[in-house]
Structure formats: structure tokens, C-alpha cells
């Protein structure tokens, strides 16, 4: 694991301020692409905070998403709900086929799979 410090401007506060957060990234993870560039599986967005779907599964709003998995074959991070949905939905209300298909379609849409990098973070130089 490698530590990286990412900075983002938090505009939800009355006066925007810079927020520093240390995240632990796999040593072989690709570097974060530019905002809007195609996703390369760097995992930064999911390591900083879970997406709305990850919040439901992880039951948390901050910190690394529990659904994020490392793929040795791809040398990149992947969303576990998309690559192994049974692992993360087993024993839940997803056993009924039609509901499961709707849930996974919704999950792909919410996490914006294949839409490009939406992690508006800058890496702080050590």
C-alpha cells in the first residue's frame, strides 16, 4: 500500500476551504486521470468516499467504500457490485431476479460506470 494525500475544495461550507485526506492506495494502482478523462480504475474516488450505492452497502458516508475491490488481473480497482454482485448482495433482498437486474442497472447508472473521472481532487506533493 502507498499513502497519498488528496486535496479538494469543499464548497458545501459557507466559505470554501481546502480539505486534506490521506488515503491508502495499492502500489500498482494507476495514477488518477484528469477530471472527465476515461476511468482507469485508480480507485481514488471510492477510497475517499463511497458513492450513493456504496453508502447503502457500506452503511457509511465517509472513508473508503467497502465494495471497492482490487483486481490483480487488471491491476486496477473495480466496483464489487459490478464485478461480483453476489458477494455484496447475498443474503439481502436481492435474491429475486427482476429486482436484482433493476438494482444493478440503477447501480451502474448512479456510479456513472464508464462515464469518466468525476473525482475533483488534487494530489498534494510530498
Question: pLDDT tens for residues 92-121?
Answer: 566 667 877 887 888 888 887 667 888 877
Structural domains in the chain (count):
1
How far apart are alpha carbons 94 and 45 in whole angstroms? 26
List the one residue out of 81, 29, 86 whose CA is nearest residue 57. 81
Predicted local distance difference test score (pLDDT) of residue 72:
92
pLDDT of residue 9: 47
- C-alpha distances out from residue 21 to 18, 47, 78, 101, 111, Å: 10, 10, 21, 35, 21
Q: H/E element holding 19? A: strand 17-25
Statement: residue 6 has pLDDT above 80: no
Domain membership of residue 9 as a residue range: 2-123
For residue 68, which of 5, 36, 23, 115 has the smallest C-alpha distance? 23
pLDDT value of residue 11: 47
Q: Model's pTM, two decimal places? A: 0.75
| Percentage of residues of the chain with pLDDT beyond 90 | 10
Amino acid at each position: 500500500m502507498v499513502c497519498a494525500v488528496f486535496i479538494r475544495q469543499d464548497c458545501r461550507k459557507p466559505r470554501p476551504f481546502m480539505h486534506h485526506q490521506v488515503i491508502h492506495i495499492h502500489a500498482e494502482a494507476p495514477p488518477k486521470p484528469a477530471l472527465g478523462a476515461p476511468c482507469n480504475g485508480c480507485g481514488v474516488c471510492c477510497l475517499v468516499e463511497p458513492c450513493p450505492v456504496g453508502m447503502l452497502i457500506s452503511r457509511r458516508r465517509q472513508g473508503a467504500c467497502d465494495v471497492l475491490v482490487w483486481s490483480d488481473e487488471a491491476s486496477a480497482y473495480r466496483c464489487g457490485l459490478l464485478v461480483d454482485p453476489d458477494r455484496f448482495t447475498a443474503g439481502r433482498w436481492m435474491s429475486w431476479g427482476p429486482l436484482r437486474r433493476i438494482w444493478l442497472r440503477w447501480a451502474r447508472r448512479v456510479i456513472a460506470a464508464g462515464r469518466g473521472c468525476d473525482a475533483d481532487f488534487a494530489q498534494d506533493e510530498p
